[in-house]
């Protein structure tokens, strides 16, 4: 029998980026907030320290900061007529676990969506006609505009100490920044981080072809930086131990390094780690959540925590699973196209290339994971899709930094995988291989969705989320287009040879691709086709606010975290300025 605990004003289910943002904003508004985090605590001064963080085996191969699949995973199939099987060890995407969530091990690429991305269905229809969007492409306009959330993008930039060069400052285009971006009220808080040698070569070649290269914006401080929470972030050391690993100088922003130092000091905040939220207890008639049930994973004790406001801030899969288990909202059915929970799952479509420069020294081991030079000439609706046969796009980047010895040895196609010839090629090319990536959009499709698995259960007996996903034909065409543009730039760099790496036609969960899973609890203007309103408030429970990329209607050609953080601040503002005065629906359908 679960122990019923004393009421609190708000709980967050999970304490990653969005849980920390919401807890901080709500405690500042005077609420008592409890964060329930299923994983361990992670504290920069104790856990992000030298020399132990610079360990490729522990963090990058054995995935210390990632979810524990012995407790929880999901099942996967490409198509709805197949049998889904459990992902027994995560690979293609790596959701984090513990305080800070996926925001500790991320590459820290910090982007905004384009203004036209927020009204993508309208934009395409206006440009290409009412029949341009195929029936199965279920893309939607966001229920917020770029201009509305720009101040919240700006706020999140400042919390993270983002480094970059503005390309559009209040409408004025600036050479050397991303001239395709939406207007920014302010430049980035920090100057761009340094570029890799390969990145500089790529930028010069892209410019010679008439493109508009710029250093990627990253939530990595190029200089020591004090944020609005009174926390000072260190400057990037370019140490090379970055992706999948915590940053010991706190240059790479995480909730742990930017918000939690202040939040932990607030007596209105309480953190309970190793507490696994098993269920949202839903009063359907009253249209609200009355409490959350959780299991203390240290001893198995079960608790019921009543709360005035519930912030659902776990990863995409956990958010969808909680709604389906509690019966909040109608589950999506791909055959009838009815229902909303689990609808419009999308992902990031990444494909890359490698090129070889025997006469150039690239020093590939240093830098940060996100350190790259990009062009954004072929993203979203920044270019004309007339006659191309697809919609969407992405940015095209050369990173070639932070190449670790186990996973970062790039050799030309056809090189033996072992033996003396392999070894000679590995030594020959390690310092002379440049790597490239295209960060492509995935426009939602009717066939891609999440529901509950009928067979497999987690360690607490709850059905696993079942993911049905294969990139639609549209995305393969989009990716081929981006790769053709990338190939043109690579040729202009004059490599001795290069290899393009298109994705296989069926998605596989085995090799790492991207942790940018989106959708399932999408935001929208109409409760018949969305799960949350423009303030991330559930249409079916007015005290439930759902955070993170699960609210994206589709995935655009950018890393999601910048938009995730901005939406959290936007949602928090609606709660503290409006909802608290008169709890109830913030939007009337």
Which residues of this chain interact with another protein, rule CB under 8 A?
50-52, 54-57, 61-63, 66, 68-70, 73, 76-78, 82-89, 91, 194, 197, 200, 235-241, 360-361, 363, 365-367, 405-406, 409, 417-420, 423-424, 426-427, 430-431, 455-457, 506-510
Strand partners, 546: 312
**How far apart, in whole angstroms, are the C-alpha atoms of residue 470 and residue 489?**
29
Expressed in percent and rounded to 5, the helix, strand and coil fractions of the chain are: 25, 25, 50
- Residue position matching structure tokens 């925590």: 305
CB atoms within 10 A of CB 487: 15
Q: At 424, give phi and psi (nearest 5°).
A: -65, -40
Q: Please, which residues have CB within 8 angstroms of residue 12's CB and are 6 or more apart in sequence?
A: 19, 22, 23, 33, 34, 35, 36, 311, 313
**8 A C-beta contact, residue 442 and residue 312:** no
Distance CA(522)–CA(234), nearest Å, equals 36
DSSP 182-214: PPBSS--SBPPPPPPHHHHHHHHHHHHTT---E
The 10 Å Cβ neighbour count of residue 461 is: 7
Alpha-carbon gap, residue 179 to 555, rounded angstroms: 21
- Hey, which residues are catalytic here? 516
> Rounded distance, CA 567 to CA 214, Å?
25
Question: Nearest approach, Cβ of 506 to another protein (angstroms)?
Answer: 5
The rounded distance, in Å, linking the Cα atoms of 105 and 61 is: 13
Instruction: For residue 22, give the 3-state DSSP assignment.
Output: helix
Closest C-alpha to 397, from 475, 478, 517, 483: 483
State the nearest-atom distance from the C-beta of 229 to another protein, in Å: 24
- Is 307 within 8 Å of 282 (Cβ atoms)? no
Among 197, 196, 201, CA closest to 242: 196
Where would I find the H helices in 30-137? 44-47, 120-128
- Least Å distance, CB 178 to another protein, is 23
Q: CA-to-CA distance for 559 and 227, rounded, in angstroms?
A: 22
Q: Which residue has the tokens 């939602």?
A: 444
Please tell me the number of Cα atoms within 13 Å of 327 on its side-chain side: 6
Q: Where are the beta strands (DSSP E) in 227-274?
A: 232-233, 269-273
185, 146 in Cβ contact below 8 A? no
């Amino acid at each position: 029998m679960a122990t019923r605990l004393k009421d609190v004003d708000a709980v967050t289910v999970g304490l990653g980026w969005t849980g920390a943002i919401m807890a901080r904003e709500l405690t500042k508004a005077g609420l008592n907030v409890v964060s329930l985090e299923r994983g361990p605590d992670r504290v920069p001064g104790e856990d992000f320290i030298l020399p132990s963080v610079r360990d490729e085996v522990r963090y990058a191969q054995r995935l210390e900061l990632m979810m524990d699949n012995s407790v929880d995973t999901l099942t996967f199939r490409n198509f709805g007529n197949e049998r889904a099987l459990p992902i027994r060890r995560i690979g293609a995407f790596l959701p984090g676990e513990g305080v800070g969530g996926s925001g500790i091990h991320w590459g820290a690429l910090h982007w905004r969506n384009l203004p036209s991305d927020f009204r993508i269905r309208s934009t395409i229809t206006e440009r290409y006609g009412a029949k341009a969007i195929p029936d199965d492409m279920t893309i939607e306009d966001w229920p917020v505009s770029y201009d509305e959330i720009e101040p919240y993008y700006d706020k999140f930039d400042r919390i993270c100490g983002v480094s970059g060069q503005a390309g559009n400052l209040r409408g004025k285009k600036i050479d050397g920044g991303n001239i395709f971006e939406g207007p920014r009220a302010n430049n980035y808080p920090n100057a761009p981080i340094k570029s890799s040698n390969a990145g500089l070569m790529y930028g010069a070649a892209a410019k010679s072809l008439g493109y508009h290269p710029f250093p990627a914006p990253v939530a990595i401080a190029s200089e020591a930086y004090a944020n609005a929470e009174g926390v000072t972030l260190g400057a990037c050391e370019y140490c090379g131990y970055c992706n999948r690993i915590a940053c010991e100088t706190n240059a790479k922003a995480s909730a742990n390094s930017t918000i939690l130092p202040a939040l932990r000091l607030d007596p209105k905040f309480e953190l309970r780690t190793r507490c696994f939220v098993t269920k949202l207890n839903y009063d359907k008639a009253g249209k609200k959540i009355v409490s959350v049930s959780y299991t203390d994973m240290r001893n198995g004790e079960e608790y019921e925590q009543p709360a005035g406001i519930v912030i659902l801030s776990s990863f995409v899969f956990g958010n969808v699973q909680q709604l389906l288990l509690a019966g909040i909202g109608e589950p999506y059915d791909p055959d009838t196209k009815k229902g909303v929970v689990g609808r419009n799952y999308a992902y990031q479509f990444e494909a890359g290339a490698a090129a070889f420069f025997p006469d150039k020294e690239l020093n590939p081991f240093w830098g940060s994971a996100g350190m790259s030079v990009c062009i954004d000439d072929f993203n979203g609706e920044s270019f004309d899709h007339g006659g191309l046969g697809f919609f969407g796009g992405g940015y095209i980047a050369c990173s070639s930094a932070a190449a670790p010895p186990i996973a970062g040895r790039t050799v030309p196609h056809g090189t033996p995988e072992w033996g003396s010839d392999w070894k000679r090629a590995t030594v020959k090319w390690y310092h002379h291989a440049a790597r490239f990536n295209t960060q492509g959009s995935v426009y939602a499709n009717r066939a891609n969705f999440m529901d509950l698995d009928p067979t497999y259960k987690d360690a607490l007996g709850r059905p696993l989320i079942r993911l049905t996903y294969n990139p639609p034909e549209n995305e393969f065409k989009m990716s081929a287009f981006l790769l053709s543009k990338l190939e043109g730039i690579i040729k202009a760099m004059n490599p001795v040879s290069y290899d393009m790496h298109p994705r296989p036609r069926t998605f596989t969960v085995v090799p790492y691709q991207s942790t940018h899973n989106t959708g399932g609890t999408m935001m929208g203007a109409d409760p018949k086709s969305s799960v949350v309103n423009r303030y991330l408030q559930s249409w079916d429970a007015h005290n439930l606010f759902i955070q993170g990329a699960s609210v994206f209607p589709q995935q655009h050609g950018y890393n999601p975290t910048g938009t995730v953080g901005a939406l959290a601040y936007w949602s928090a503002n609606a709660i503290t300025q409006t909802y608290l005065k008169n709890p109830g629906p913030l939007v009337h359908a």
